[in-house]
């Protein structure tokens, strides 16, 4: 991650005692250079130097204004759900700590949670409908997004096994992060959580996002809008046609929630990534004023909960133009997953072989071609097989 550059110190433009710019005639004489005579070389240099200083001053003012806008937006994080996660309570498998200095070196991994909440309940007691890992190569700026399907049967980090989205409901972001780290051999220490209103308000502030709506999605998007509009006590605009179109915040959030079409929850996770990428693209091209409005939309209404502090957010904002999402996918990987009703746990997504899925994940995120899962993952993999084998093929 690059560090914030210090602004160049401005130097005052040289003036004579009368306030005239250096290089003009003596004060009080009103003299002007003879237009027929060429100005001496030293005068030309001074004039050029003066223009350079003026341009530099204008440039610095411009940069300062941008910094003020960004700082104004970011500092508002102090008024919302900033949480300090005790680092000693975050679980990272021992073998992963070795990888941090080799294959995983230079990568920053952040958990993104979207919770099923319209009332700002972001800390716990609500299931995480959206679970993503954003992995950023800090050297190249390349990002990869992975959705962890919310119904995936995993260790909840306390040696109980169930749908992985219940980890957030039971223990908030700490338990959800530990669930990801333990089952996937990750080293996540930071997270960002938003609710329905937070996503909707952000997209509205950015002016909406472009999404391609198909026939199967059209009726569901309006049904979800109607429900959320009632809960959020706001009006909504029905989507009346299919095709590539501009969706407002409520429409785009409803689009994220659709799961009763071909592809079920796998397709829903894909829609969530689609909306996230569309939002990022809009943010990268937005003006400072628009970004400020977007920040206010979630910061002022307590619709964000995160472990990131001001310095870290400033660093991320400083590098945002260099970031590019180069690939995306879902976990468990399509060819290594199945579904089934696992007794009282209900319908689950089952990693056919958790260890093999973890090897695939590390190849996908870190280009680790021969990743060997940790002893802990091997143990969890066997437990998942034992619990689910009689329910799935």
pLDDT tens profile 107-156: 999 999 988 655 555 665 566 788 999 999 988 989 999 999 999 999 99
Per-range mean pLDDT, top range of 123-127, 248-252, 307-311, 321-325: 248-252
Give the residue-averaged pLDDT of 206-228.
94
Element (H, E) at 217: helix 215-232
Q: List, for residues 290-306, the tens digit of each pLDDT value.
A: 877 777 766 666 677 88
Q: Confirm if 299 and 76 have CB atoms less than 8 A apart.
A: yes
CA angle centred on 239, ends 225 and 249, rounded to 5°: 55
Q: Confirm if 204 and 249 have CB atoms less than 8 A apart.
A: yes
Q: How far apart are CA 178 and CA 154, in angstroms?
A: 12
> Residue 116: exposed, middle, or buried by beta-carbon count in 10 A (0-12, 13-18, 19+)?
middle
pLDDT at 104 over 60: yes
> Residue 289: exposed, middle, or buried by beta-carbon count in 10 A (0-12, 13-18, 19+)?
exposed
Element (H, E) at 327: strand 324-331
Helices (H) and strands (E) in the chain, counts: 11, 13
Picking from 143, 119, 123, 128, the residue whose alpha carbon sits closest to that of residue 83 is: 123
pLDDT of residue 124: 58
Picking from 326, 304, 323, the residue whose alpha carbon sits closest to that of residue 315 is: 323
Q: How far apart are CA 11 and CA 21, in angstroms?
A: 14
**Predicted confidence band of residue 263 (pLDDT cuts 50, 70, 90):** confident
Whole-Å CA distances, 340 to 14, 36, 163, 267, 392: 79, 93, 12, 17, 6
> Residue 297: exposed, middle, or buried by beta-carbon count in 10 A (0-12, 13-18, 19+)?
buried
**Top CATH class, 75-388:** alpha beta
Q: For 190-220, b where at least 16 C-beta lie within 10 A, e where not — what string?
A: bbbbbbbbbbbbbbbbbebbebebeeebbeb
Residue 28's φ and ψ, nearest 5 degrees, are 85, -15
Cis peptide before 332 (omega within 30 of 0): yes
| SS3 label, residue 187 | coil
Question: Could you tell me the residue ranges of all domains in the chain?
Answer: 75-388
Q: For 63-79, b where at least 16 C-beta lie within 10 A, e where not — what string?
A: eeeeeebbeebbebbee
pLDDT of residue 18: 39
Give the residue-averaged pLDDT of 297-319.
68
- Between 346 and 44, residue with greater pLDDT: 346
Picking from 149, 156, 147, the residue whose alpha carbon sits closest to that of residue 365 is: 147
User: Quick one: DSSP state of residue 119?
Assistant: S
pLDDT of residue 11: 41
Q: How far apart are CA 225 and CA 200, in angstroms?
A: 11
């Amino acid at each position: 991650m690059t560090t914030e550059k210090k602004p160049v110190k401005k130097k005052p433009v040289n003036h004579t005692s009368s306030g005239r710019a250096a290089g003009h005639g003596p004060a009080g004489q009103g003299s002007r250079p003879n237009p027929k005579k060429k100005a001496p070389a030293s005068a030309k240099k001074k004039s050029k130097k003066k223009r350079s200083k003026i341009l530099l001053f204008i440039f610095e003012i411009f940069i300062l204004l941008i910094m003020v806008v960004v700082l104004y937006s970011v500092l508002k994080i102090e008024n919302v759900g900033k949480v300090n996660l005790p680092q000693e309570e975050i679980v990272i498998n021992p073998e992963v700590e070795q990888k941090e200095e080799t294959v995983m070196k230079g990568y920053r991994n952040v958990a993104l949670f979207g919770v099923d909440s319209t009332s700002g309940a972001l800390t716990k007691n609500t299931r995480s409908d959206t679970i993503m890992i954003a992995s950023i190569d800090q050297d190249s700026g390349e990002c990869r997004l992975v959705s962890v399907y919310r119904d995936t049967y995993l260790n909840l980090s306390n040696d109980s096994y169930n749908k992985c989205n219940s980890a957030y409901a039971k223990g908030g972001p700490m338990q959800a992060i530990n669930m990801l780290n333990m089952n996937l051999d990750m080293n996540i220490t930071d997270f960002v959580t938003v609710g329905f209103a937070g996503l909707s308000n952000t997209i509205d502030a950015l002016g909406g996002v472009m999404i391609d709506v198909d026939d199967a999605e059209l009726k569901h998007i309006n049904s979800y809008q109607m429900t959320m509009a009632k809960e959020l006590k706001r009006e909504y605009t029905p989507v009346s046609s299919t095709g590539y179109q501009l969706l407002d915040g409520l429409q785009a959030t409803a689009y994220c929630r659709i799961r009763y079409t071909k592809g079920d929850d796998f397709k829903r996770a894909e829609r969530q990534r689609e909306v996230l990428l569309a939002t990022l693209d809009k943010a990268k091209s937005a003006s400072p004023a628009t970004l400020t409005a977007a920040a206010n939309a979630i910061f002022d209404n307590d619709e964000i909960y995160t472990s990131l502090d001001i310095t870290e957010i400033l660093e991320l904002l400083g590098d945002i133009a260099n970031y590019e999402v180069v690939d995306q996918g879902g976990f468990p990987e399509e060819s290594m997953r199945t579904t089934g009703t696992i007794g009282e746990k209900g319908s689950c997504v089952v990693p056919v072989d958790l260890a093999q899925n973890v090897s695939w994940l590390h190849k996908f995120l870190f280009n680790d071609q021969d990743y060997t899962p940790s002893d802990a993952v091997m143990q969890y993999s066997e437990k998942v097989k034992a619990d689910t084998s009689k329910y799935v093929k």
